[in-house]
């Protein structure tokens, strides 16, 4: 089965074409476009490129297109990308304005460009469908909850891949099997000892998720991708009373307050330097106190959420790092793991310093908790789930 994975941003379009079978998948081609103003044009150009390069002879060979949709109103899971999905995306367009409108538009465009292909949406919230209610509810009036305000969680494809791969690397194939088939079978009980993992997806957008026996038990992100850890230029968690106070005191509108929280906060707002952690690291190394503070706030938030999941699960067998910062940021990994020897976590400084975006166990041989770097592979997860659903 040929599966095209479509990654749609506000002004970008990236794709990967997979050949999928019962044993796994292989990438046949990949490409992308930036500063997109006409999605129909770039989608058709991508399909023409695949034919011109000899990857396919006809667009009809593409049997399915997978979309990593973010947040749907009253809808989650791995589902056919039909009118119901478009309505769900548009219903929460104001909550995820950078993600939902491009995906709704993209689904429409692919319907026209690939009329014979089946379209499948894997919502980022799908991995959190079985989170305990106490971990998904806010302490708000019931009427607020009834209109859909709750903790949803994001980066679901990334954390699901960590659930599978960390279990495999720790010799827990029983747990890996549950995680692999989660969207088909739902959660399954594990009769043997529990396997508890904490997954740190750290990048331009970051989140921490607690995973027990392949199933998420909670996550740092909540109602929107704005919440949780400080992001590259988004604030993360914030006391709600801060917003009306800032509006009144600074004399700005609510829309302007939201813009500043989404565009001028996070690492950028703290450091005053950049929203790119590489620039923040360089500034901190040169003695910039604000840049050093930005890094400290990020690490403190990661430890806050990781610590909460350790307590909620009663222990942890694997602490994992993924995403651009997680895979390349040895100093951040070291700071997160500092002083945890009493919990059985012994980081190997040399392994940690040497690891750059490669799958590596960076804890000491005698560490009770395995610390693992696992490169993100959200596209493969999406291709797998599309293949499983349609098979």
Please write the tens of the pLDDT for every residue from 306-355: 999 999 999 999 999 999 999 999 999 999 999 999 999 999 999 999 99
Residue 133, in any domain of the structure? no
Below-70 pLDDT ranges, the chain: none
Say what the pLDDT of residue 222 is. Answer: 96
Clarify whether residues 232 and 361 are in a common domain: yes
Residue 267, in any domain of the structure? yes
Clarify whether residues 113 and 193 are in a common domain: no
The domain boundary residue, chosen from 107, 122, 137: 122
Clarify whether residues 24 and 112 are in a common domain: yes
Clarify whether residues 266 and 370 are in a common domain: yes
86 is in an annotated binding site: no
327 is in an annotated binding site: yes
Residue 146, in any domain of the structure? no
Cβ pair 163, 384 in contact under 8 A: no
288 is in an annotated binding site: no
Counted domains in the chain: 2
Residue 147, in any domain of the structure? no
Clarify whether residues 117 and 174 are in a common domain: no
325 is in an annotated binding site: yes
Clarify whether residues 67 and 188 are in a common domain: no
The domain boundary residue, chosen from 72, 101, 122: 122
CB atoms inside a 10 Å sphere around CB 358: 10
Say what the pLDDT of residue 289 is. Answer: 98
Clarify whether residues 94 and 212 are in a common domain: no
Clarify whether residues 181 and 38 are in a common domain: no
Residue 142, in any domain of the structure? no
Residue 141, in any domain of the structure? no
Clarify whether residues 116 and 180 are in a common domain: no
Say what the pLDDT of residue 300 is. Answer: 98
Residue 94, in any domain of the structure? yes
326 is in an annotated binding site: yes
The domain boundary residue, chosen from 122, 140, 175: 122
Domain hosting residue 101, numbered range: 2-122
Clarify whether residues 100 and 175 are in a common domain: no
278 is in an annotated binding site: yes
213 is in an annotated binding site: no
Say what the pLDDT of residue 191 is. Answer: 84
pLDDT in tens, 355-380: 999 999 999 999 999 999 999 999 99
Clarify whether residues 181 and 295 are in a common domain: yes
Question: CATH number, domain at 235?
Answer: 3.30.420.40
Residue 232, in any domain of the structure? yes
């Amino acid at each position: 089965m040929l599966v095209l994975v479509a990654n749609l941003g506000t002004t970008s379009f990236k794709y990967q074409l997979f050949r999928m079978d019962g044993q796994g998948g292989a990438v046949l081609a990949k490409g992308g476009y930036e500063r997109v103003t006409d999605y129909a044009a770039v989608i058709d150009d991508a399909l023409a490129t695949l034919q011109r390069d000899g990857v396919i002879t006809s667009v009809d060979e593409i049997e399915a297109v997978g979309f990593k949709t973010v947040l749907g109103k009253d809808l989650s899971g791995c589902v056919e990308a039909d009118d119901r999905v478009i309505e769900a995306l548009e219903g929460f367009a104001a909550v995820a304005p950078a993600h939902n409108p491009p995906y709704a538009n993209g689904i429409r465009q692919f319907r026209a460009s690939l009329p014979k292909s089946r379209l499948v949406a894997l919502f980022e919230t799908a991995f959190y469908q079985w989170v305990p209610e106490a971990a998904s509810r806010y302490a708000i009036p019931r009427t607020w909850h009834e209109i859909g305000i709750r903790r949803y969680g994001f980066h679901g494809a990334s954390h699901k891949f960590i659930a599978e791969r960390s279990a495999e690397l720790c010799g827990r194939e029983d747990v890996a099997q549950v995680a692999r088939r989660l969207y088909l079978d739902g959660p399954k009980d594990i009769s043997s000892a529990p396997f508890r993992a904490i997954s740190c997806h750290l990048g331009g957008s970051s989140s921490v998720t607690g995973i027990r026996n392949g199933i998420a038990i909670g996550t740092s992100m909540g109602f929107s991708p704005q919440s949780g850890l400080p992001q590259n230029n988004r604030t993360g968690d914030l006391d709600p009373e801060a917003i009306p106070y800032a509006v009144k005191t600074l004399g700005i509108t609510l829309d302007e307050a939201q813009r500043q929280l989404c565009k001028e906060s996070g690492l950028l707002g703290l450091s005053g330097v950049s929203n790119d952690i590489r620039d923040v690291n360089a500034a901190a190394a040169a003695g910039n106190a604000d840049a050093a503070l930005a890094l400290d706030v990020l690490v403190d938030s990661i430890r806050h959420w990781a610590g909460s999941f350790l307590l909620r699960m009663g222990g942890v067998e694997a602490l994992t790092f993924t995403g651009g910062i997680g895979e390349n940021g040895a100093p951040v990994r070291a700071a997160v793991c500092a002083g945890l020897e009493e919990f059985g976590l012994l980081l190997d400084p040399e392994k940690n310093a040497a690891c750059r975006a490669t799958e590596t166990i960076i804890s000491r041989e005698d560490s009770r908790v395995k610390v693992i770097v696992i490169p993100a592979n959200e596209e493969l997860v999406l291709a797998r789930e599309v293949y499983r659903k349609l098979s």
